[in-house]
Amino acid sequence: MADFEGVYSVLPTPFTADGEIDFESLRRVVDLYVGAAVQGLTVLGVTGEVARLSEPERSAVLREVIQQVAGRVPVVVGTSADGLKKCIDYTREARGAGAGAVMISPPRMPKLNSAAVVAHYRAVAEAVDVPLVVQDYPPISGYAMEPQLLVRIAREVGAVRAIKLEDPPTPLKTARILELAGGEPIAILGGLGGVYLIEELLAGAAGAMTGFAYPEILVEVVHRFRAGEVDQAAKLFYRYVPLMRFEFQEGIGMALRKEVLRRRGALAHAGIRAPGAGLNDSTRAALDRVLEYARAQPDAARFGL
């Protein structure tokens, strides 16, 4: 489970102005995140607009990312599906393509219970030999996993290597999971745009898995924290958390992230697929303001601002 320490950046899926996948931009954004010294990448996640991709597009994005990464960092692939067979099929494809791990949310099903959730992860683990990351994100799965259930999954399904925790309050839930684990190693990665990263680290998290457009900041926060420079890590985090908070707005967060990545030169076009919301003039003006604040920080140039 220690393999999942640090920062794993979640990739967006870039589109052209006419809505087709922009593979050239995808390659650039892979290189941007890898160049920021992240510990790994995650593809086909929620913020990659995976629900708006066709089956052939999913496969094409997966192959392109694995090829562009070229073994520089591990790649975690989202393989969640409502049906067990489809989840296993996605997982087999990811493993065959060279994924280092897969990330899976509980399936959406009527009257889902803890026994069914554990059985789902166990069945995938038995079918495909690949490390699993349990994604705890109730808005997507429709099911909130209590700390006791997450510990049970980690104990009973040996392939589980980490939990991606996105059910706030994440620092409190992180601490509760580790308390219930009683010293057993469970790697917990925060998500939610990184907006609670320092508090999650203080609670015992191993790092973060998020697509924040300035991964360099997250990498430095985690590095300083792990080096015992907790106060310095916290000060750095609090200088830039306004940008994280603004980027992670519900409903338009992906559009904001893509706009920032466009301004960084990684994406040619910041569009998202319908029915996702785009940005209006006032939101762009607000983004200008928060970026201006971030660029005024003394170490901004180090982080590509």
pLDDT tens for residues 140-179? Answer: 888 889 999 999 999 999 999 999 999 999 999 999 999 9
Q: Read off the pLDDT of residues 188-208 as tens digits, 9 standing for 90 and up.
A: 999 999 999 999 999 999 999
Q: What pLDDT, in 10s, does the model give residues 243-292? A: 999 999 988 999 999 999 999 999 999 999 988 888 999 999 999 999 99
Is 273 part of a structural domain of the chain? no
Full residue range of the structural domain in which residue 214 is found: 2-239
The reply to whether 110 falls in a domain is yes
Q: In the prediction, which pLDDT does 102 show?
A: 97
Whether the full predicted model's pTM is greater than 0.85, yes or no, is yes
Q: Among residues of the chain, what percentage have pLDDT more than 70?
A: 99
Domain holding 79: CATH number? 3.20.20.70
The answer to the question of residue 157 being in a domain is yes
The strand pairing partners of 9, in sequence order, are 41, 210
pLDDT bin (cut points 50, 70, 90) of residue 229 is very high
In a domain, 225, yes or no: yes
**Beta partners for 208?**
7, 190
DSSP 3-state of 150: helix
- What pLDDT is attached to residue 99? 96
pLDDT of 2 above 50: no
CA distance 278 to 83: 31
CB atoms within 10 A of CB 251: 8
pLDDT band at 75 (very low <50, low <70, confident <90, very high): very high
179 is a domain residue: yes
Helix intervals (H) in the chain:
23-35, 55-69, 84-97, 114-127, 138-141, 147-156, 170-181, 197-203, 215-226, 230-247, 253-263, 281-295
Is 284 domain-assigned?
no
Distance of alpha carbon 81 from the chain centroid: 17
Q: What percent of the chain has pLDDT over 90?
A: 90
285 belongs to a structural domain: no
Q: Is residue 94 included in any domain, yes or no?
A: yes
Q: How many CB atoms lie within 10 A of CB 89?
A: 16
How many structural domains does the chain have? 1
